[in-house]
Amino acid sequence: MAFEFTDSNFQEAALDKKGVAVVDFWAEWCGPCRMITPIIEELATEMDGKATVGKLNVDQNKEVSMKYGVRSIPTILILKDGEVVDKQVGVISKAALEEKILAHV
């Protein structure tokens, strides 16, 4: 199950934590976001112990979304030790996303 990032837990779960965090910025009304949800869920399970993979609802968590300038969704940020090391805007295949994540694990 994908981790649920929020404005209140983002600092602790993504920025202060050592290692890799993958954050999928999404909204319920977004069709492409719904397309990528199964990929995020699968990677959350497969990357357990290697990376924290989760989702952040942009409608409910505007603070983090604004901080990272997320204007198009889905946007996926890959953070390592609290720093953004990769960004993907739009739908991506599971294999391509997994490759991006593994480059930083």
Backbone angles phi, psi at 23, to 5 degrees: -120, 115
The per-residue pLDDT string of the chain (105 residues; one tens digit each, 9 = 90 and over) reads 999 999 999 999 999 999 999 999 999 999 999 999 999 999 999 999 999 999 999 999 999 999 999 999 999 999 999 999 999 999 999 999 999 999 999
Instruction: State residue 19's pLDDT score.
Output: 96
State the pLDDT at residue 21.
Answer: 98
What are the backbone angles phi and psi of residue 66, rounded to the nearest 5°?
Answer: -70, -40
Domains of the chain: 3-102 (3.40.30.10)
Check residue 10 and give its pLDDT: 98
User: In the structure encoding, which two tokens stand for residue 22, read together?
Assistant: 């993958």
Catalytic residue among 13, 33, 44, 73: 33
Check if 33 is active-site.
yes
- State residue 87's pLDDT score: 98
Distances in Å between the alpha carbon of 68 and those of 24, 25, 44, 58, 65?
12, 10, 22, 11, 6
8 is catalytic: no
CB atoms within 10 A of CB 45: 10
Burial (0-12, 13-18, 19+ Cβ within 10 Å), 42 = middle
Q: Which residue in 27, 30, 47, 91 is the catalytic one?
A: 30
